[in-house]
Amino acid sequence: MRSPPLCWAFTERLAMMTTATTTRATRIAGPPSNRNLHRGIIHRTFAHQNSSADRKDISKNDSFPEYVQKPFFTFEVLHESKRSRARACKITTPHGTIFTPAFVAVGTQGALKAVPHSVLDDANLDLMFANTYHLLLQPGHEHLQKAGGIHKFIGRNRPTISDSGGFQVFSLGLDADELDESKSPNKNNNGNNNNNNNNGERNHGGTGTKELKSRGKTKHKQQNLLEKVDEDGVTFRSYRDGTTLKLTPESSVQAQKNIGCDIILPLDELTKYDISLQELSESVDRSHRWETRSLYEHLKNVKEQAMYAIIHGGVDERLRKKSVEYLTSLPFDGYAIGGSLGKNREELKELLQFLMPIIPRDKPNHLLGIGDLPSIAHGVRMGVDSFDSAYPTQIARHGTLLSENGPVNYRKSEYREHFGKPAEILGNSSGDDECKCLLCRKHSLSYLAHLDRANEPMAWSLATEHNLHFMGRTMERHRQAIMNDEI
């Protein structure tokens, strides 16, 4: 039997862990599904279910303020295709503009691994993702605050987005051996030029459990570092030193305030793919409560940051609709699509087909953790504005170049003596669409293969730069096709 694509397998493993954990945790019943979504009702429900000082503050307010577009974060639709829901837009942030549809490269630790940030500008990729979980543990969010925020600290004065840290924390429960095997470079990317084979990875802007584990101490390697999920938040142990830490909606937002990305995300709960509808419904309610707390914390001190809601509900149409109705009643700046996105690409497609038409078009949206080309192409036609994934950079370090003809495994023996231009294999050998990366301009696949065999880090730099350029060109083509009403 053919194995499912790794992206979906990864999601399922993650999900199994999540369910096991939440089953242990004390659950608080979610709000009734048919409740009135009036803001005041939401707040009373919220205050009733929670008792900390912060939550009492919320009960004093009758409602959140009406949403008003902020001067530092604007959204403009440049063109809507006449052939589909696809749209080309412009998002303005305090650190520059983002043209959509956009691919968002993942700079987990405030770095792209193997290449400098300037590669993003050269590749025409506006937005970079940073992972709060990793930055919390090293160097610490207070350190970034002292440095004046992430833009100053990493020396990139361009738009950035951070997640809540929750995804990686939930990922800590994954079976280490299973994940390691699934992401083994040799098994992950076998150079098969088939777009349907291992060309996507569901890692939610992340990364990096493999990287996590590979940097973790041996004594923690086989342990489940996720300790408890309850109404207040999620408790886990640091992979670095075993210290017990707790992430709550409030602490996640505070950390993201100190990190200082232009766009931030609320804390949410992750669920496995095939849990019962009742379990999924309870999880969606919990995510809504956590997101409400996150938004409240964010609005206490906006600091020129925008916060996107994260729409949940798995592949259940009714729950996704309920999530959209609830979250669009709150003054978020945009909408991310999170949670389980299905067990395969076909289910993601079905999900987007019923979900995208009900997401309001007056704010930007983002599809979390999807970076494979067919899913991006479909998402663009359905009206998705941005996508993030570590996939293009991760596979580059493990032997795969993206190309016009499908993924190319540069470790294959047939390329050891390919001394000509890489474009002969990778496509785009001439014209404006020519790949401008260093590999394609100056080197050969033979040289790349040699560097890789010699374990020279330059191999990973060249391959990463190429894949980022490829993603930049792909998104530019999508934008052009929308402007010309071709898709």
Strand order across the beta sheet in which 244-247 lies? 226-230, 233-237, 244-247
Contact between 371 and 351 under an 8 Å Cβ cutoff? The reply is no
| Spatial separation of the C-alpha atoms in residues 171 and 165, rounded to whole Å | 10
| Spatial separation of the C-alpha atoms in residues 336 and 310, rounded to whole Å | 5
For the bound state, the minimum distance from the C-beta of residue 126 to Zn ion, rounded and expressed in Å, comes to 19
Check residue 402 for interaction with Zn ion (CB under 5 A). no
For the bound state, the minimum distance from the C-beta of residue 42 to Zn ion, rounded and expressed in Å, comes to 50
**Residue with Cβ nearer Zn ion (239 or 470):** 470
Check residue 401 for interaction with Zn ion (CB under 5 A). no
| Active-site hit among 232, 262, 388, 452 | 388
**Residue with Cβ nearer Zn ion (324 or 437):** 437
CA atoms within 13 A on the CB side of 38: 5
Check residue 380 for interaction with Zn ion (CB under 5 A). no
**Residue with Cβ nearer Zn ion (122 or 231):** 122
**Residue with Cβ nearer Zn ion (112 or 355):** 112
Distant-in-sequence, close-in-space partners of 63: CB < 8 Å, separation ≥ 6: 39, 40, 42, 43
For the bound state, the minimum distance from the C-beta of residue 437 to Zn ion, rounded and expressed in Å, comes to 3
| Active-site hit among 126, 163, 268, 452 | 163
Check residue 471 for interaction with Zn ion (CB under 5 A). no
Stretch that binds Zn ion, among 66-74, 183-191, 220-228, 458-466 (CB under 5 A): 458-466
| Spatial separation of the C-alpha atoms in residues 360 and 365, rounded to whole Å | 9
For the bound state, the minimum distance from the C-beta of residue 159 to Zn ion, rounded and expressed in Å, comes to 24
Contact between 295 and 256 under an 8 Å Cβ cutoff? The reply is no
* Cα–Cα distances in angstroms (integers) from residue 334 to residues 69, 184, 297, 310, 483, in the given order: 11, 36, 17, 9, 22
**Residue with Cβ nearer Zn ion (437 or 451):** 437
For the bound state, the minimum distance from the C-beta of residue 428 to Zn ion, rounded and expressed in Å, comes to 8
39-49 and 277-300 helices cross at what angle (nearest 10)? 100
Contact between 171 and 350 under an 8 Å Cβ cutoff? The reply is no
State the binding string over 412-451 for Zn ion (x if CB under 5 A, else -): -----------------------x-x--x-----------
Contact between 383 and 87 under an 8 Å Cβ cutoff? The reply is yes
Stretch that binds Zn ion, among 76-84, 254-262, 389-397, 460-468 (CB under 5 A): 460-468
For the bound state, the minimum distance from the C-beta of residue 462 to Zn ion, rounded and expressed in Å, comes to 8
Among 87, 183, 320, 466, binds Zn ion (CB under 5 A): 466
| Spatial separation of the C-alpha atoms in residues 282 and 268, rounded to whole Å | 12
- Site for Zn ion, residues 338 to 377, rule: CB under 5 A: none
**Residue with Cβ nearer Zn ion (362 or 433):** 433
For the bound state, the minimum distance from the C-beta of residue 90 to Zn ion, rounded and expressed in Å, comes to 27
How many residues at the interface with Zn ion, by CB under 5 A?
Answer: 4
Q: What is the largest CA-CA distance in the chain?
A: 71
Active site residue 388: yes
Contact between 261 and 152 under an 8 Å Cβ cutoff? The reply is no
For the bound state, the minimum distance from the C-beta of residue 402 to Zn ion, rounded and expressed in Å, comes to 9
- Eight-state DSSP code of residue 376: H
Instruction: Give the number of residues written for the chain.
Output: 487
**Residue with Cβ nearer Zn ion (12 or 122):** 122
**Residue with Cβ nearer Zn ion (132 or 403):** 403
| Spatial separation of the C-alpha atoms in residues 487 and 484, rounded to whole Å | 8
| Spatial separation of the C-alpha atoms in residues 116 and 120, rounded to whole Å | 8
Q: Applying CB under 5 A, which residues contact Zn ion?
A: 435, 437, 440, 466
Catalytic residue IDs:
163, 388
